[in-house]
Amino acid sequence: MLMFIFTAQICFGDTDHRDILAINSLYAALGYPPLPGWLVSGGDPCAEGWQGVQCVNSNITGIILNGANLGGELGENLGAFVSIIQIDLSNNRIGGPIPSNLPLTIKILTLSGNLLTGSIPDSISNLGQMTDLDFSANNLSGPLPPSMANLASLTTLHLQDNHLTGLLDVLQDLPLIALDVENNLFSGPIPSKLLVIPNFR
């Protein structure tokens, strides 16, 4: 009987409460758009099949809501997700700044085609597992933070169609195989190491 109870608890599979708090906070920041399954408070995203939410066991591992007519902002609690590895909120109308508190487990972050403003936060350096980053087609400005040099896993970076300024030197030692920085306000010479990237624009 004890073994049966133990097994039932393991298999119950409620979404991790930390992920529930994080997704509730994101939903509020986005302005409570009409997304099937999503709740203002509580809920069980993994068991209830919330639109765009991907899970492994009890943890949210992805939020894919590209072209979902989203507005609002991203808020400051994205970093509360415990195990998320992909966020794709591209081609929406999300404004405001890029949060300084991003999830440390993220590998693919796609925020292209929105209305994001401000600069890329220095805290981006904390995302050591990130391989793909796309901030293209927003209204970002300012120089690239020196801390971007610490993104040791980054292979794909899209920054085109913004208002970014300064030098590209901070990117020259990253393991990039694809880099797009077109249609910005960068200055100075292009580092020779960037010119040999297979897909560089």
Q: Is 97 within 8 Å of 118 (Cβ atoms)?
A: yes
Residue 85 has a pLDDT of 98
What does the pLDDT read at residue 199?
87
pTM (2 decimals)? 0.91
C-alpha angle 82/88/93, rounded to 5°?
120
Does residue 5 register a pLDDT over 60?
no
* pLDDT tens-digit readout, 138-159: 999 999 999 999 999 999 999 9
Interior/surface letters 159-185, b for 16+ CB within 10 angstroms, e for the rest:
bbbbebeeebbbbbebebeebbbeebe
Q: How confident is the model at residue 12 (pLDDT cuts 50, 70, 90)?
A: very low
Give pLDDT tens digits for 87-130: 999 999 999 999 999 999 999 999 999 999 999 999 999 999 99
Question: Taking 70 as the threshold, does the pLDDT of residue 3 lie above it?
Answer: no
pLDDT at 1 over 50: no
Q: Which of 153, 98, 108, 95 is nearest to 134 (CA)?
A: 108
pLDDT reported for residue 104: 96
